[in-house]
Structure 1
């Protein structure tokens, strides 16, 4: 069944259905086991392996380089469908897609060729950026240094989402000169220890815990200056969150409709002999589906803005690229609070359509609220409306990147 036939609206391109059909059988398998994995806390390693083999990780690599050549709107829509199956997996792969986006923004070079080939082979990257404890905003405690004639990495990171499933880990660190750098090490390199100690109430299967680096050998060719990464990074990473939320919305809509259709019990003070014939219950189901529809439509609009920023990067006009990046960040910020509210509302009123029995743990419906609530706590949404308002009133451009830690002021 196409996206149009499912009433989720047209895909982002004429070829989208062909692209999506490659992955939909795997998505269906993932969805079938989602609740069981959630209840048993079974990490989705096998599911991610199947997606790697099918080429999901190479979606954005151009066809001329062996990938699928997906646009950003096509990628976003695929991620919505994946998130409807299991949002943990999209979140676990978020670091990889951000890493790939940096690769496709590079000009032709040996580095781009090396990484494109690895990604096309099915290799994926996790991330190791955030530091906790006494971490500072302006410098990483994780750093490189020389040990003998070897360049080595030492430090600890948290929120290293997806690194447990990855072949490579993309690391933010402090360089030899004290400036911010980015580098990559293999997940199985000696001295790399990825620990599944994530204890959040949502995203429980994303392996978003700690990674420790102890004298890990670093290839100098894989070290770049942090400022050289793609400019619309903040907007891109937020786009993945938005697509994940929209997918959660679809999952809520689908599961609610199925559960209401199957429900035999009804209340004596209800408005119909069965829930499926009760107009008030149907109204709740309709609101949930409408919220999910609106969320998906907004995500595709944001993806178009970020696609324009990507295209501007190669146009050779610095001013146009700067403007496209700013607009992409603003459109993303404008979407965050709205999409979050739509999905959080859906994850709450699902229980109004189904009653107290729907709160039983074996059904697993609570996972949608927990996952959406946890997702929407990243890159705090409370700041987004202020950023948008400051632009609208004062013309203040949005910040492209941010970090968490103790302020240097």
Structure 2
């Protein structure tokens, strides 16, 4: 007997606030040829994403069409190794791409972060058969989201989500939060632990029975990331899609540094956008202070000095970001305790400067542009809201400690996904 189930009935069965996933493109994604093409594509996409970014922030519209363009462009497969059909580009270039995109819309830049980090993790821990399967998905344009973090546990590394063995698949149960990208993903990697307490990525179909993504992200910044709640209620995941994440931290690897450098690149992009909008507003809309004796705000000597200071600090942050990318590339090519620690230290230094300049640029914007810049019609506060929200990832006060302890005492950074 055939039973017809209407779309309306299926939708009514979802938890309140649950959102269905996106469809996959019928066309395979582009494969980027080289560094220069990756940068050109990123700049072209950024120009398109910049239009409408403020309105998306204001209204809460999710960047669905923009993400389709981003993932189909080939930039979501740039760290798929050449041996598996990908471009195999450097992490130096990957960080530049994320910074360029994030200067246009940092929510879109952040959504790509976990996808690219998962690609890196698969390259580190999966066997050749699993790599071929999952990298093939990425090259077709499939987007990974994430269901990593949990609310209510004592530490970020504590996970209550578990899976049980069920033959050719596992059954996963738990609840996640801060699930950046899951709302608009095709596959959702879930961090779940086995009976031995080891962490795995159980990569589930976005619309798998029992998997619900709730659109309840309410932060004042990074609004377009839709980093809400994921409910995981006996979700079946084939063992072909069960990735041993724990192996990435069993021996030296650059996996943690790769996740971190993408965070730093998003912050560099936010800083660039805030500084660019400061310069534009001062040139075109701001008035000079009455004591300056100038006809244009852009000729005010104190404004000139402040813009010079921010420009230097941004360039320093971008230089450290590039240096960190080179260190990661060296660690990926030859991973050992020393090369991985060098990558971690370089990324920590970049994280400090990108955080500080993003916050400084977003705040100084209003000091230099004046009261008019606070009007809602300009929505310039989005830069500060985005910077303040995103820079809360992996606090920089601990990055100072990591760098200082290594310089003073020769102590390598802690080895985990947040370092």
TM-score normalized by structure 1? 0.88
| Superimposed CA distance per residue, residues 182-206 of structure 1 (whole angstroms, 9 cap, x where no aligned partner) | 2211111111111121222211111
Quote the residue 2:405 is aligned against.
Answer: 390
| Superimposed CA distance per residue, residues 5-50 of structure 1 (whole angstroms, 9 cap, x where no aligned partner) | xxxxxxxxxx643331123222101011111111111111111111
Quote the residue 1:365 is aligned against.
Answer: 380
The SS at the match of 2:240 is helix
| Superimposed CA distance per residue, residues 310-332 of structure 1 (whole angstroms, 9 cap, x where no aligned partner) | 1114xxxxxxx221111111222
* Pairing partner for 2:229 from 210, 213, 228: 210
Distance in 1 of aligned mates of 2:66 and 2:297: 35
Does the CA contact (< 8 Å) of 2:153 and 2:159 recur in 1?
no
Q: CA deviation at 1:119?
A: 0.4
Pair 174,63 (structure 1): closer, same or farther in 2 beyond 3 Å: closer
Quote the residue 1:333 is aligned against.
Answer: 348
**5+ residue gaps in structure 2?**
1-33
Quote the residue 2:209 is aligned against.
Answer: 190
* Pairing partner for 1:252 from 274, 283, 304: 274
Q: Does 1:79 align with 2:98?
A: yes
Pair 68,278 (structure 1): closer, same or farther in 2 beyond 3 Å: same
The SS at the match of 1:60 is coil
1:214-293 paired onto structure 2 within 5 Å:
214-229=233-248, 231-263=253-285, 265-293=287-315
Quote the residue 1:28 is aligned against.
Answer: 47
1:3-402 paired onto structure 2 within 5 Å:
16-105=35-124, 109-134=128-153, 139-145=158-164, 151-229=170-248, 231-263=253-285, 265-313=287-335, 321-401=336-416
Pair 341,150 (structure 1): closer, same or farther in 2 beyond 3 Å: closer
Pair 178,68 (structure 1): closer, same or farther in 2 beyond 3 Å: closer
Q: CA deviation at 1:219?
A: 0.8
Distance in 1 of aligned mates of 2:221 and 2:297: 30
The SS at the match of 1:249 is helix
Pair 107,223 (structure 1): closer, same or farther in 2 beyond 3 Å: closer
Pair 149,324 (structure 1): closer, same or farther in 2 beyond 3 Å: closer
In terms of mean alpha carbon deviation, does 244-253 or 387-396 score higher?
387-396
Pair 224,21 (structure 1): closer, same or farther in 2 beyond 3 Å: closer
Pair 155,240 (structure 1): closer, same or farther in 2 beyond 3 Å: same
Pair 186,135 (structure 1): closer, same or farther in 2 beyond 3 Å: farther
Does the CA contact (< 8 Å) of 2:351 and 2:396 recur in 1?
yes
The SS at the match of 1:18 is helix
Pair 264,337 (structure 1): closer, same or farther in 2 beyond 3 Å: closer
In terms of mean alpha carbon deviation, does 147-156 or 349-358 score higher?
147-156
The SS at the match of 2:288 is coil
Pair 258,401 (structure 1): closer, same or farther in 2 beyond 3 Å: same
| Superimposed CA distance per residue, residues 257-282 of structure 1 (whole angstroms, 9 cap, x where no aligned partner) | 22122126433223411113333323
